[in-house]
Amino acid sequence: MDVTVRIVVADDHPMFRKGMVTLLSTEPGFVVVGEAATGAEAVSIACATLPDVVLMDLQMPEMGGIPAIQQLRECAPLVRLLVVTLFEDDDSVFLSLRAGAHGYVLKDAREDEFIRAIRAVAAGEAIFSPAIATRVLAWFGSQRHDDLREFGDLTHREREILAELAKGYANAMIARHLSISSKTVANHLSSIFAKLQVTDRGAAIVRARESGFGA
C-alpha cells in the first residue's frame, strides 16, 4: 500500500511557495497540509499538523529557518526537515545541520530532484544537493578521528542516552524508551556533559549530531 507523505512548505517568497505547492499537489502520494511565510508560522503549523516533512527556507521574517528548525526539533522531534534555499555557503549548511536538518537542497534543483529529496527524507534518509554533499562528506571525514577519541570514553548506556538526546527527546521520554528512571537519565547526562566537556543539553546535541548520533 502506498504511503502518503504529508508536507508543510515554509518560504516567504509567494511565487516560489505557490509553485512548490502546485508541484507537490500533483505528485502521487504527496499531500500539502500547510503553508508558512515565516519561521514562526512554520513552527506553529508544523507543531499543530505534525507533517512527515517540512520544507524550510532559511531567510524568512520574524524567525529564520535555523531557529525554526531548532524549535521544531523540540516540539515535533519526529518531523523530518528539508532545507530548500538559495544559500550554499558553509555557515548556512553546517548551522542547518547542527540545528537538526535532515537534508539540504538548493532552489535551482530540478523538479524531479525535489521530489526525490522529499521522498528520501520522509523515508528517514539524509540527502543533499551534489555540491553540498561533497563539502559535508569532506568535513565529516576530517572530524572522524577526533570523534572516535572523544566519544570513546562513553559507556554503552551513555551512547544510548546521547542518541535519544540528539533526536530531541526530553528526559522523561528517554527514560520511557530505555526503561529507566528520569533520575538515572539525568545522572548519565551529567556524566556525558563532563566527558564531552560541554555545559548544557544544546551543546551536547550539537556535538552528538555532528558525529552522527540521532540520525
Q: CA-to-CA distance for 194 and 198, rounded, in angstroms?
A: 7
List pLDDT tens digits, range 160-172: 898 888 888 889 9
Q: What is the pLDDT of residue 139?
A: 60
SS (H, E, C) the chain: CCCCEEEEEECCCHHHHHHHHHHHHCCCCEEEEEEECCHHHHHHHHHHHCCCEEEECCCCCCCCHHHHHHHHHHHCCCCEEEEEECCCCHHHHHHHHHHCCCEEEECCCCHHHHHHHHHHHHCCCCEECHHHHHHHHHHHHHHHHHHHHHHCCCCHHHHHHHHHHHCCCCHHHHHHHHCCCHHHHHHHHHHHHHHHCCCCHHHHHHHHHHCCCCC
Q: Does pLDDT of 142 surpass 80?
A: no
Q: CA-to-CA distance for 109 and 214, rounded, in angstroms?
A: 27
Q: What is the pLDDT of residue 9?
A: 98
Task: Retrieve residue 49's grid coordinates.
Answer: 499538523
Q: What is the pLDDT of residue 185?
A: 93
Fold for 152-210, please state it. Answer: Arc Repressor Mutant, subunit A (1.10.10)
- pLDDT tier, 138 (very low <50, low <70, confident <90, very high otherwise): low
Higher per-residue confidence, 199 vs 36: 36
List pLDDT tens digits, range 50-65: 999 999 999 998 888 9
- Give Cα 173 to chain centroid, integer Å: 19
Q: Domain-by-domain residue ranges, the chain?
A: 5-138, 152-210
List pLDDT tens digits, range 17-33: 999 999 999 999 999 99
Options 1.10.10.10, 2.102.10.10, 3.40.50.2300, 3.40.1120.10; CATH of 5-138: 3.40.50.2300
- pLDDT tier, 147 (very low <50, low <70, confident <90, very high otherwise): low
Torsion of CA 190, 194, 195, 196, to 10 degrees: 100
Higher per-residue confidence, 197 vs 184: 184
